Amino acid sequence: MERRPFGTTGLTVPALGLGAGPLGDGRLDEAAAARLLQGALDLGVTLVDTARSYGLSEERIGRHLAHRRGEFVLTTKVGYGVEGEADWTGPCVARGIDEALRRLRTEVVDVVFLHSCPLETLRDPAILRALEQARRAGKLRAAGYSGENEPLRWALESGAFGALECSVNLCDQRSLADALPAAVARGLGVIAKRPLANAPWAHAERPAGQYVERYWERLQAMQLDPGPFDWDELALRFTAHAPGVACAIAGTASLEHLERNVRLVERGPLPASAVAALRQAFAAHDDGWEGEV
């Protein structure tokens, strides 16, 4: 697995990481969760991205990977859900980090992201102070913002963050033209979330009310031709090798999909003509297609 510098944080990340949202689902049994996490590291997928809100995810990462903590980059997200604290306050961020460390059974998380809060929250000095104090205390290596659009741009320019996480995929390309080049110029590490666009091609009919619905609409509008590639190959190679992306975190609870995703990313960038056609199709149909959180 190709490994890349993560901005100027000093961290090195794999081109493909594990989006550990699905790992949090209680319907996934514990043995399968263990196999997925061990399998990821064995395959060279040495970045695991989680969040406080991903069900059992943090707890399972702690349970099954604490003994291999030196082998992977660990990222989580905070800002809400701490008992006895109002969401999006300094104490909520500070205690959220402490609780994440406990659940993840580690002394340090590599990147702690503020989890997609709006701009007003991001501008609150108490929130940034809590994150910075935790960084100085050695509880995290880099502070990050995970989100889109205006707050993402603010985070980028604020100087308060060493890392960003944003949507980059066939159906969500705006950040390729603005946020990513600016992040690279400023030395921020970038994680691409939703790199498969939540696999909208799998739905013959509109997935009404589902997370993927907006991307499904965009895919219909763009009328893309995948050419000689399977859709997952087209999507993942586009994102994982996009300029400015250090690591693409494909979400999966399936070891089989993870193994396939490793093989796809290892095929390298798509041909330049295919990338140009995908960029052109997005630009031609971009009708207020902002980044999807």
Token pair belonging to 212: 């993927």
197 in contact with ligand NAP (CB under 6 A): yes
How far is Cα 132 from Cα 212, in angstroms, rounded to an integer? 34
Report the residue from 9, 106, 116, 173 that binds ligand NAP according to the rule CB under 6 A: 116
Q: Which is nearer to ligand NAP, 25 or 137 (CB)?
A: 25
Size of the site for ligand NAP (CB under 6 A): 28
Residues paired with 113 in a beta bridge: 77, 144
142 in contact with ligand NAP (CB under 6 A): no
Report the residue from 49, 58, 110, 172 that binds ligand NAP according to the rule CB under 6 A: 49
CB of 49 to ligand NAP, least distance (A): 4
Subset of residues 202 to 231 that bind ligand NAP, contact rule: CB under 6 A: none
Report the residue from 21, 79, 189, 291 that binds ligand NAP according to the rule CB under 6 A: 21
250 in contact with ligand NAP (CB under 6 A): yes
Q: Which residues contact 18 (CB under 8 A, 6 or more apart)?
A: 36, 37, 40, 45, 47, 48, 49, 249, 250, 252, 258
Q: Which is nearer to ligand NAP, 89 or 261 (CB)?
A: 261
198 in contact with ligand NAP (CB under 6 A): yes
CB of 278 to ligand NAP, least distance (A): 15
Sign of CA dihedral 129, 127, 181, 136: positive
The DSSP result for 182-203, as a single string, is HHHHHT-EEEEESTTTT-GGG-
Crossing angle between the packed helical segments 272-285 and 213-222, to the nearest 10 degrees: 110
Only one of the segments 36-44, 170-178, 190-198, 217-225 lies at the binding site for ligand NAP (rule: CB under 6 A); that segment is: 190-198
How far is Cα 153 from Cα 147, in angstroms, rounded to an integer? 10
Report the residue from 61, 170, 253, 270 that binds ligand NAP according to the rule CB under 6 A: 253
CB of 230 to ligand NAP, least distance (A): 8
Residues paired with 16 in a beta bridge: 248
How far is Cα 253 from Cα 257, in angstroms, rounded to an integer? 8
Name the site residues for ligand NAP (rule: CB under 6 A): 19-22, 49, 77, 115-116, 146, 165, 193-199, 232, 249-254, 257, 260-261, 293
